Structure 1
Amino acid sequence: MIFPSGDAQVFNGEDAQLNVQNGIPRFYIMQLHNKGQRFHKITRHERCTQCLGSLEGKDWLMVVCPPYNDIDNPVLEELATFPIPGNCFIKLEVVTWHAGPYCNHEFVDFYNLELSDTNVLDYFTHDFITSHQLVFEML
C-alpha cells in the first residue's frame, strides 16, 4: 500500500500474512522459459509461505490443492487451476500443494519470496505419473 506523506501505515488482517520465520527469507527473480500448460508433479513447502508474481505483466497459470490434504497424496478431486493476471501476485499458504507457474510465453521473469533453503530442505513433491499414471493439461 502507498500512503500519503504523514499518514500512518497500519498492518491489518487484509494484508498478506507471511510465514518466513523458519529460516532466512529469499526474494529473487526466476526466469522460466515456455513452461507450457502440462504437468504431472505437484509440490508443497512445510516451513514457509511463498509469494509469486510476474514482472512483465504477462498472465500465467497456477494449480493448487488445499493444504489440509494428506502429507504424501494430494486429493485429486480438489486440484484447481487459476489464471493469474500479470498485474497480480499470489501468496501460497504453508503446505499448499502447487504446480506452476505455467505459461505459453517464450519466457517470463517471476519474483519469488520463500526461504533461502526452500528448494533444498523444504521441497516435497508428488508425481501423478507414479501414483495415477496421469499427466494434466490446463486449457
Structure 2
Amino acid sequence: MSKENIVQPLPAEWITPEKFRPYGQVIFASKDGKSYDADDAQLNLQNGIPRFYIMRLHHKSRKFHKITRHVQCTQCLGSLEGKDWFIAVAPPNPEIDEPALADIAAFHIPGNCFIKLEIGTWHAGPYFNHDFVDFYNLELNDTNVVDHFTYDFLKSHQLQFEIQV
C-alpha cells in the first residue's frame, strides 16, 4: 500500500527586515553617499569567485517538495522590472541535515528590494505569478555545482508545500 502525497498550504507573508532576520537580510534603496553599515548586505563570498548574473525563470506553480541550502557563501536574489515574487525559507542550522517542518516560512517580496540569504539558509524558489521574471543572483561561480545541498520532503515525508498568496 503506497502512501498518498500531502500538499501542505504555506501562507506567504509580506517580507519585512524584522520577519526575515532569521534567514538573512532585506535590502531596500538607500540614499546615495550613505556610509556602509549594518543595513547593507553583509556578504560572505570569500570561498571562491563571486558570480553576479541575471537568470530568467518562467512561471511554474508555487508547489515545491525540495529545499536547498548553500554552506560556503551568502546569496543575493532580486527581481528586475519591479516584479514581485515569493520564496520559502527555513533558518540555517549547521548541526542538522534537514530543515524542521515547523520552521518553514514563505515570504512575498516586492520588486523594490532584494534579499540576502545567510550561509546555510534553506530556500525554495523564487516563485511568482508572472509569465517570466528576470532575477539577479549573486553567489559563487560554482555554488550550484559544489555547494548545493537539497532535502526532498516528498521522499522523506510524502509531503509537498504550496505557497498561498
Q: TM-score, normalised by structure 1?
A: 0.92
Helix, strand or coil at the partner of 2:144 = helix
Residue 111 of structure 1 corresponds to 136
Residue 128 of structure 1 corresponds to 153
Residue 46 of structure 2 corresponds to 21
Sequence identity of aligned pairs in percent?
67
**Structure 1, gaps ≥5 residues long:** 4-8
Residue 97 of structure 2 corresponds to 72
The one-letter code sitting in structure 2 at the alignment partner of 1:26 is R
The one-character-per-residue Cα deviations of 1:85-120 (angstroms, maximum 9, x if unpaired) are: 011100000000000100121100000000000000
Aligned pair 1:49/2:62, yes or no? no
The one-letter code sitting in structure 2 at the alignment partner of 1:40 is H
Residue 82 of structure 1 corresponds to 107
Greater alpha carbon shift after TM alignment, 60-69 vs 49-58: 60-69
Q: TM-score, normalised by structure 2?
A: 0.78
**Structure 2, gaps ≥5 residues long:** 1-29
Instruction: After the TM superposition, list the runs of 4 or more consecutive aligned residues in structure 1 that deviate by more than 6 angstroms.
Output: none
The one-letter code sitting in structure 2 at the alignment partner of 1:59 is D
Helix, strand or coil at the partner of 1:20 = coil
Alpha-carbon RMSD: 1.2
How do 1:93-112 and structure 2 match up within 5 A? 93-112=118-137
The one-letter code sitting in structure 2 at the alignment partner of 1:11 is Y
Contact 1:69/1:75 (CA < 8 Å) preserved in 2?
A: no
Greater alpha carbon shift after TM alignment, 39-48 vs 60-69: 60-69
Write the distance in 1 (CA, Å) between the matches of 2:66 and 2:94: 16
Aligned residue pair count = 134
Equivalent in 55, 59, 64 of residue 84 of structure 2 = 59
Residue 12 of structure 1 corresponds to 37
Greater strand share, 1 or 2?
2
